[in-house]
Each structure stands twice: as C-alpha cells, then as structure tokens.
C-alpha cells in the first residue's frame, strides 16, 4: 500500500501521509513524498501543497530504526532541500504529534496550521542528537534564538494552542476544518514569491539573552555533548548564513550519531518498547483489572494503592486493624494534598483518587476484586498465611500477587494451593512514581495471569518486565553483586566518598553508600540476617547504630536537615577497625578499579541470569536497571555498557580482577566467555 495518498482540493495537492503507526519518515515515506512534491510542482493546475496525515500522528520524525545503516536516497535532508527549492507554496496541516524530522518538515513549509491536539517538538536531544534536518537553523529564525535554544535543549513538545502564540505555528484550526484552513493558507501564498531565510535577529538584547541562556545550559548539563552542539548551531544563526548553518548542523549530527551516548539512548528507547511482550495470542487472553485489593498500608502498599487510584481503579486496602487502615488512607490523602500544592493534580482529582480507596480489615471485602497485591512484611511465614487466607476469600479468577522483593514466589504460591494464579509484582519505591514493575512468573503461574498483570501494569503507565523466580529476581540479584563489591572495596581501603565519587563519575546520580544511607542500612542488614549472609562493613555500621539518614549517621554524618552528608572520621575509623580485625592491609584503590569492580560483576551476574533463563534478554535486564536503579540512561544499561565496552575486554578485566583480589565470584560466566570468544553480542 502507498504510504502517501494525494488528493486535489480546490487546486491544492494534499499529501496524506499514512505510514502506520506514527509516520516515521522511513525510506518509503520520504521517496513517496518526494515524488508527490515533484509531480505537484510539475502540474500547472496545482497552486501549492499541503502536508497532512491520515493517521492521528502527523509524524514522529526520522525513522530511528534506520540510524546507523547506510543512508537511502532521498534522505530527509534531500527532501527538505527539495521543499526549499519548490516554486509553489507549502503548508503543514498538523493535527497530532509532529516531532523531530516531522516538525522539521512543518518548519520547512511556508506556514503551519495546527489543531489544539497538535504537539510540536524537537526531542532529538533525548536520544543524544540534535535536530538534523534544519531545525536548529529554522527555528531560531522564526522565534527568539534564546527561546529556540530552550525548546531544542529540553526536547519537550508544546500543544497547538501554545504553539501559535509562541510563534511555532501560524494558525489554530478546528480539527474538522484543518485541511480546508491549510488549503486556504496555500492560496494566500500563491501569488507571492516564496520567502528566503535570512540571518537571525542581530540586536544586542537578543544576543545577550541567548548567551545567558547558553551559559546556564552548559553549566547545568556539562557532560552532554549534544547540548554543546545545539548551542553551537543556534549561535551560528546570528552570524552565519542559512547554508553555512545547515552545514554545521550536519557535521554535529553526523558526529553525535556515531557517539556511544546516542547509540545507548537509542537502544534504551527501543529496549523499553520491547519488554513485557508476550505472543499476541497470549496477550489476547488478558483480562481487564477493574478493582484491586492491597494487603498492607505501609510505604509500599500505600504507593501501590495510589498508582491504581490515580488510574481510576478502585482499591480495597486491608490493614490489621481499623486504625492502621485509616492511618494508611490519611497518609495517602496527605500525599495527594502534596501533589495539589505542587500543582501536579487538581483538588477534584485528589478527592476522586482518595475516594477510590476503601480501608478495610476483613478479607471478605476482597470477594469481588480482580487482583490482590500483598505488600506485607518480608517474612515467608506471614506471606504464606496471607495467601492461604486470600485463596479462601477471593473469587477463583482473582489473581494473587506478592510484592516481595526477594522471597520465592513458588514457596509463597505453594501455601495457597492455587499456584496458577499466584504471581510476583515487584514494585519499586515510591511505587506511585517509579515506573518499573518486575512481573515474577512462578513455575506454575498461568500464562493468562502473566498477560493480565502485564496489561494492568501498562494501564498504570508502568514498564513491566517479566522475570523468573529466584532470590532477588533480576534487579536485586544484580544489586547484591554490586553491594558485595562495595563492602569489599571499603574493607580493602576505599572510603565511602571514593566509592560514591567513582559511581557518580560513571554517570549515576547517587553513589551506593549515599543511596544506602538514604534507604536505611538496616533494611539490607535485616535481609542479610534472614538469609544467612553478611557484609562486614555494612553490618558493623548498623550494629553501631549507624542506620543512615534516619539516625543522622551511616556511611556519612548528616547535619541538622538530616540530608546533607559530610565525611565522618568516626565512620572511617570504624571501617578501618573492621579491616584490621580481618587482617586486611588497606591500600589506595584507583578510581578505575573501583568502577570496574562495581559494574563488571553486574554484567557477569546479568549473563548468569540469562544462562539460567531468569530474564529472556539482555534488554530486559537493562530496562530493569534503567527504571528501577537509576543506571545512567546514556550508558544504555549494564549489559549494553558491557557490549559497548567490548565483551572481550570485560572478560579479560574480570579475570584479572578475580586473580588480583582472590575473589572467585568475579570469574566470568561461561556465556560471557563464549560471547567474548566468538565476538557475538548478547542480542
């Protein structure tokens, strides 16, 4: 089927783009647009051209799947040059998203007619690029360069109603008469020669506002090469011709495209969209969850309740006694009030959401719910008892989920006598905000239950990833390897500050010690005790009453506000004494080694998880770490980082570290070894 349909309306050629789902500007769409434009220019009966879409999206921009492959003619730039050379006027009729190259097509037109549902943006910055089809040169010639800079550097789109007063579009039209309005616009232009793009504004105020905005931006995002390139290109609109500016934009675009950061960000974009997929026939079995029960109104239970209530799904929130249940609802109401005060939801929405949550103590209140999520204490006996009660009090089709973060879903399911409908839904704190949900498939969990839970999680706007059952599942199992190394590094001579600095240097927002203090060191201590594990440094801190921010001391000392860390000589002395008691001679550990010892064992564990079939693909592992643990997005995730660095190098370094430290856990897995030997990637 053609991806462009041409209609002649009142002497104007309307080019209807129809490349599902989002009119990404792939080779076929570019070729057909180019041909239709040539024909319109050659046809003496045609006054001009309207670019329109038969889909709800105008266009999502260049087809990102083509990036990195040899270019096919006409390229997007060729098409836009052809538009520039058109003798006849061109108008864009935008009724939905016009992003990246899609908006650049609209910018290359003589005018843009939009509906209120239009959404115009240049989001290339989010995939490590800049607009590469003229956006950096046209927009600053259309609106103030300082504003254009902010628009391109944030990548956030604006709605049609805002776009017109902001100067990004020319006319607002009703959706029913969008095309007629655009056709009329073409007729307005038909008698005039097409305008040529000149230099940008030259007045001193404009330039100084731009320079100020550029300085702030570069200071705020110093490590993002695309920001520097965007500034460079927008600045060029002041003192270079349009043609020279286009050349500069092209150079930056080509360079950024080859940069590992952009490759990683593009990988993350597609990885997010590939996770949590089951065969279409299985997904067709998914039921719609219309009501839920939640067991436990603590931090996790309340957050999960909020996630459902905010999506308009009624919740029965079970606590052990009426006071506890009411306290949980009060806490939730207070959280929503906070959102109202911040302006993120309206008062009406707050009232609606709170009204969605019914506190209860009697499990019989769960008789009609479609899904129950247990978020009680992390103790197997408690969970087994709850699941026994749940089977007796819910309808036979209700799905029973546990929010455990490391206990065996199969052991919990065994107590229920209804294993087919027991599943894990591991939310991350705060559960109303964090997008990740590990969907844990037990040995006997039915495919329908998995499909229903995936559908429900997506309905909440979450990113669900299906994982197998094992201690800590995927995310926490990999985290455990990193935590072990952190403890070893501290024992061998590193300080908490050096460890944290190393991880922030790698790209994380927070180092592991600061993160541990924030979460509370007692949480992992309790988990280690329950599972017979130890971490000499972290255990010693907790046993000395250093629980983290909540006790104003942990790896660091916290001041009056309880949040600002400072180096604590007492903590360092304690760490040194643990090293001494174990006969370890402390040494200065280079930053590079600290980074490798934290990151490479994660890749190794990820490979082990793949070997065991606990995760289906490296992408699943990466998405879990991007969305649940703040792994730097521009690294793609631990597995993609390993691949970018080279698995051969990863294996060699792991072997060397295992040898040098005597830590056999760092020996590479057989999967890593074989991939490194064959030069293959995880995919």
**Catalytic status, residue 124:** yes
* In the complex, least distance from residue 276 CB atom to ligand 3H9, rounded to whole angstroms: 11
Instruction: Say how far apart CA 399 and CA 420 lie, in whole Å.
Output: 9
- Within 23-42, the residues that bind ligand 3H9 by CB under 6 A are 24
Q: Quick one: which of 468, 438, 350 has its CA closest to 623?
A: 438
Q: Quick one: which of 616, 610, 607, 620 has its CA closest to 650?
A: 607
* In the complex, least distance from residue 127 CB atom to ligand 3H9, rounded to whole angstroms: 6
CB 460 within 8 A of CB 307: yes
Q: How far is CA 307 from the centre of its chain?
A: 17
Among 110, 124, 487, 622, indicate the residue that binds ligand 3H9 (CB under 6 A).
Answer: 124
Tell me the three state secondary structure of residue 401: strand
Neighbours of 518 (CB within 10 A): 15
Which two three-digit tokens encode residue 133?
């089809």
450 is an interface residue for ligand 3H9 by CB under 6 A: no
| Cα Rg of the chain (Å, integer) | 29
* In the complex, least distance from residue 343 CB atom to ligand 3H9, rounded to whole angstroms: 24
* In the complex, least distance from residue 113 CB atom to ligand 3H9, rounded to whole angstroms: 21
Burial of 588 (0-12, 13-18, 19+ CB in 10 A): exposed
Q: Give strand pairing partners of 172.
A: 114
* In the complex, least distance from residue 94 CB atom to ligand 3H9, rounded to whole angstroms: 14
Which two three-digit tokens encode residue 164?
């017109």
Count of positions (residues) in the chain: 683
Q: Quick one: which of 375, 380, 384, 391 has its CA closest to 319?
A: 375
* Comparison of 101 and 628: residue with beta carbon closer to ligand 3H9: 101
What is the sign, positive or negative, of the torsion defined by CA atoms of 363, 365, 370, 373?
negative
- Within 128-157, the residues that bind ligand 3H9 by CB under 6 A are 131-133, 135
Q: Give strand pairing partners of 467.
A: 440
276 is an interface residue for ligand 3H9 by CB under 6 A: no
What is the β-pairing status of strands 557-558 and 565-566? antiparallel
Q: Quick one: which of 504, 606, 621, 507 has its CA closest to 565?
A: 504
* Comparison of 67 and 648: residue with beta carbon closer to ligand 3H9: 67
Instruction: Say how far apart CA 112 and CA 6 lie, in whole Å.
Output: 19
Instruction: Say how far apart CA 41 and CA 35 lie, in whole Å.
Output: 10
* Comparison of 104 and 622: residue with beta carbon closer to ligand 3H9: 104
* Comparison of 14 and 97: residue with beta carbon closer to ligand 3H9: 97
Q: Which stretch binds ligand 3H9 (CB under 6 A): 87-95, 100-108, 501-509, 655-663?
A: 100-108
Among 220, 255, 273, 471, indicate the residue that binds ligand 3H9 (CB under 6 A).
Answer: 273
Instruction: Say how far apart CA 665 and CA 478 lie, in whole Å.
Output: 13
Among 37, 97, 316, 490, indicate the residue that binds ligand 3H9 (CB under 6 A).
Answer: 97
22 is an interface residue for ligand 3H9 by CB under 6 A: yes
Q: Which residue is nearest to ligand 3H9 (CB)?
A: 100
* In the complex, least distance from residue 134 CB atom to ligand 3H9, rounded to whole angstroms: 8
Instruction: Say how far apart CA 169 and CA 161 lie, in whole Å.
Output: 9
| Options 7, 32, 66, 104, the catalytic residue | 104
Contact letters for ligand 3H9, residues 104-123 (x by CB under 6 A) = x------------------x
Q: Give strand pairing partners of 437.
A: 427, 464
- Within 42-81, the residues that bind ligand 3H9 by CB under 6 A are 60-65, 76-77
Strand-by-strand arrangement of the 158-159 sheet: 97-99, 119-121, 158-159
Contact letters for ligand 3H9, residues 281-310 (x by CB under 6 A) = ------------------------------
* In the complex, least distance from residue 616 CB atom to ligand 3H9, rounded to whole angstroms: 16
**What number of chain residues touch ligand 3H9 (CB under 6 A)?**
24
Q: Which stretch binds ligand 3H9 (CB under 6 A): 99-107, 165-173, 214-222, 338-346?
A: 99-107
* Comparison of 96 and 512: residue with beta carbon closer to ligand 3H9: 96
| Options 7, 66, 81, 124, the catalytic residue | 124
Catalytic residue annotation: 104, 124
Q: Which residues bind ligand 3H9 (CB under 6 A)?
A: 21-22, 24, 60-65, 76-77, 97, 99-101, 104, 123-124, 127, 131-133, 135, 273
């Amino acid at each position: 089927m053609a991806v462009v349909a041409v209609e002649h309306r009142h002497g104007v050629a309307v080019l209807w783009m129809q490349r599902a789902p989002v009119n990404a500007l792939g080779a076929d769409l570019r070729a057909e647009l180019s041909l239709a434009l040539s024909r319109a220019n050659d046809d003496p009966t045609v006054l001009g051209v309207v670019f329109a879409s038969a889909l709800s999206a105008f266009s999502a921009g260049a087809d990102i799947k083509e990036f990195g492959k040899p270019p096919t003619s006409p390229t997007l730039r060729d098409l836009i040059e052809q538009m520039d050379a058109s003798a006849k006027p061109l108008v864009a009729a935008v009724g939905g998203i016009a992003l990246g190259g899609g908006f650049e097509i609209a910018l290359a037109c003589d005018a843009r007619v939009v509906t209120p549902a239009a959404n115009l943006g240049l989001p290339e910055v989010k995939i490590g690029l800049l607009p590469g089809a003229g956006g950096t040169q046209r927009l600053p010639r259309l609106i103030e360069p300082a504003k254009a800079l902010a628009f391109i550097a944030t990548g956030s789109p604006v709605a049609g109603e805002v776009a017109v007063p902001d100067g990004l579009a020319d006319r607002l039209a009703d959706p029913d008469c969008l095309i007629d309005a655009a056709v009329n616009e073409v007729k307005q232009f038909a008698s005039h020669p097409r305008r040529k793009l000149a230099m940008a504004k030259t007045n001193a105020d404009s330039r100084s506002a731009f320079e100020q905005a550029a300085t702030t931006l570069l200071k705020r995002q110093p490590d993002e090469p695309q920001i520097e390139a965007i500034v460079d290109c927008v600045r060029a609109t002041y003192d270079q011709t349009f043609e020279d500016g286009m050349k500069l934009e092209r150079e930056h675009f080509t360079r950024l495209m080859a940069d590992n950061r952009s490759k990683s960000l593009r990988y993350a974009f597609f990885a997010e969209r590939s996770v949590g997929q089951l065969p279409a026939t299985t997904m067709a079995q998914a039921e719609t969850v219309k009501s839920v029960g939640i067991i436990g109104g603590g931090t996790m239970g309340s957050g999960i309740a909020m996630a459902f209530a905010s999506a308009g799904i009624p919740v029965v929130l079970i606590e052990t006694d009426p006071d506890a249940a009411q306290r949980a609802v009060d806490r939730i109401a207070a959280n929503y009030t906070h959102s109202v005060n911040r302006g993120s939801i309206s008062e009406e929405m707050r009232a609606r959401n709170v009204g969605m949550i019914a506190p209860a103590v009697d499990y019989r209140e769960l008789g009609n719910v479609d899904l129950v999520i247990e978020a009680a204490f992390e103790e197997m006996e408690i969970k087994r008892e709850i699941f026994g009660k749940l089977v007796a009090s819910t309808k036979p089709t209700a799905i029973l989920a546990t929010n455990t973060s490391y206990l065996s879903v199969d052991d919990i399911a065994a107590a229920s006598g209804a294993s087919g409908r027991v599943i894990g839904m591991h939310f991350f704190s705060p559960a109303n905000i964090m997008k990740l949900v590990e969907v844990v498939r037990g040995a006997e969990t039915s495919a329908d239950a998995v499909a229903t839970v995936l559908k429900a999680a997506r309905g909440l706007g979450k990113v669900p990833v299906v994982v197998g059952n094992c201690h800590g599942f995927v995310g926490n199992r990999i985290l455990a390897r990193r935590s072990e190394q952190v403890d070893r590094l501290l024992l061998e001579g590193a300080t908490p500050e050096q460890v944290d600095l190393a991880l922030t240097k790698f790209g994380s927002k927070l180092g592991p010690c600061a993160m541990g203090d924030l979460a509370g060191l007692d949480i992992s201590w309790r988990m280690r005790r329950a599972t017979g594990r130890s971490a000499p440094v972290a255990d010693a801190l907790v046993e000395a009453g250093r629980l983290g921010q909540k006790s104003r001391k942990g790896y660091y000392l916290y001041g009056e506000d309880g949040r600002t860390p400072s180096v604590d000589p007492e903590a360092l002395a304690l760490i040194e004494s643990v090293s001494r008691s174990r006969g370890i001679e402390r040494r200065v550990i280079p930053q590079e080694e600290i980074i490798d010892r934290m990151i490479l064992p994660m890749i190794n564990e990820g490979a082990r998880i793949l070997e065991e079939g606990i995760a289906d693909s490296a992408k699943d592992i990466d998405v879990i770490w991007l969305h649940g643990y703040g792994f730097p997005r521009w690294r793609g995730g631990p597995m993609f980082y390993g691949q970018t660095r080279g698995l051969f190098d990863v294996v060699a370094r792991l072997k060397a570290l295992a040898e040098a430290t005597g830590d056999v856990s760092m020996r590479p897995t057989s999967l890593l070894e074989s991939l490194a030997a064959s030069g293959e990637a995880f995919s």
